[in-house]
Amino acid sequence: MAYSFILFETGDDGVALLTINRPEKLNALNAGVIAELDNALGRAESDEAIRGLILTGAGEKAFVAGADIRELAALSPVEAKVVSARGQALFRRLETLRKPSLAAINGFALGGGLELAMSCTLRVASETARLGQPEVKLGIIAGYGGTQRLPRLVGRGKAMELLLTGEPVDAREAHRIGLVNQVVPGAELIGASRSLLARILANAPVAVSLTMEAVDTGLESGIEQGLRFEAAAFGVSASTGDSREGFAAFLDKRRANFNGR
């Protein structure tokens, strides 16, 4: 698939850099972007050389400033429901990808942009970033998972404040409430994102993947089912070659050489 709205770059570090490339529209999400993101996630999922993803936006003003309002305004109620479900499915695919993803938030992350960022495993924001769910100011609600992920990240009370006022927060406040993991100068954003992701990718790939799945299972299904999954996943991880290598490296006081098996 030839991309018109995104850039997909890979390197020898196992990281795919996925850039939403509509800077003249503040990287707003339209149907074309959604389709291309879905294709890119499929590539990342199937390519064993790709172990993690960084998502960012082109230009200095926006990560993703939201959905394409002109496109949304033309939708019938039935069409709007279909668009919402399609976006939810894409973002859930990203959220449950068995490879860690990181949102490098380089400016506005509003509406669908914040929903995209929240679907990533972690978030790093530039000092100038502003994050929010302003949908109520347009007479609609968040439709790509914002009403579900925001409370899980920042708690019910703060999520209600952000969702019901529609007011954005700056990067420092986003960090304080747990919405982003780090705040860095804009010039350091991609480097800091790569550094954080590299620290994750230095660990055993199967253990990383199972840890992500265990957290997601517990959050979605409750602690009892989460604990059962954790025990089963612990057994699987303990049977891997990587666990044997990890134990041996610890006892030998050397760096482990994991191979994902």
Q: Which helix (H) or strand (E) holds 12?
A: none
* Model confidence pTM above 0.85: yes
The token pair at 216 is 């997601």
pLDDT at residue 73, as a whole number: 87
Q: Spot the catalytic one: 9, 79, 135, 224.
A: 135
pLDDT at residue 72, as a whole number: 86
Q: Spot the catalytic one: 71, 79, 115, 167.
A: 115
pLDDT at residue 109, as a whole number: 98
Residue 239, SS3 per DSSP: coil
Asked if 185 contacts 124 with a C-beta cutoff of 8 angstroms, the reply is no
CA–CA dist 151, 148 (Å, integer):
6
Q: Is 135 a catalytic residue?
A: yes
pLDDT at residue 259, as a whole number: 86
pLDDT at residue 194, as a whole number: 97
The one-digit pLDDT tens for each residue of the chain (261 residues) are: 899 999 999 999 999 999 999 999 999 999 999 999 999 999 999 999 999 999 999 998 999 999 888 888 898 999 999 999 999 999 999 999 999 999 999 999 999 999 999 999 999 999 999 999 999 999 999 999 999 999 999 999 999 999 999 999 999 999 999 999 999 999 999 999 999 999 999 999 999 999 999 999 999 999 999 999 999 999 999 999 999 988 888 999 999 889 888
What domains does the chain contain, in order, with CATH numbers?
6-201 (3.90.226.10), 205-252 (1.10.12.10)
pLDDT at residue 68, as a whole number: 84
The string of DSSP letters for 44-70 reads HHH-TT--EEEEEESSSSEEE--B-HH
CA–CA dist 26, 6 (Å, integer):
13
pLDDT at residue 69, as a whole number: 85
